[in-house]
Amino acid sequence: MATQDEPMQAGSTEAEQPERIEGILVQIRNDLQARPGEGARRLLEQRVRDQKLDLSTEEFDALLARIDSGDEMVRPEETKRLD
């Protein structure tokens, strides 16, 4: 099976890890919609490996849970204080 060793989108190599993870989650959700038989765990493992991300088991499991639940990432700058 072929692997994608280089990002396809221009500028993606300059993204910080949170943005790269957000992009991976979007890609995986799209993949799962297009190919429902694909496993989220396998797709996430592949994307993390391809991007050479260093995630702990807890971080990986949390991302997998978010994919399974459909939760969207919220960037810190998008959150508002409710005072």
What are 15-54's pLDDT values in tens digits? 788 889 999 999 999 999 998 888 999 999 999 999 999 9
In a domain, 80, yes or no: no
Domain extent, residue 45, equals 38-69
In a domain, 83, yes or no: no
Stated pTM of the model = 0.66
CA dist 26 and 10 (Å) reads 17
- Residue 72's pLDDT band, with cuts at 50, 70 and 90, is low
In a domain, 8, yes or no: no
In a domain, 81, yes or no: no
Give every CB contact of residue 28 below 8 A, 6+ residues apart in sequence: 40, 43, 44, 47, 67
In a domain, 50, yes or no: yes
Q: 13 vs 44, which has greater pLDDT? A: 44
Closest to 19 measured CA to CA, from 53, 43, 67: 53
Structural domain total, the chain: 1
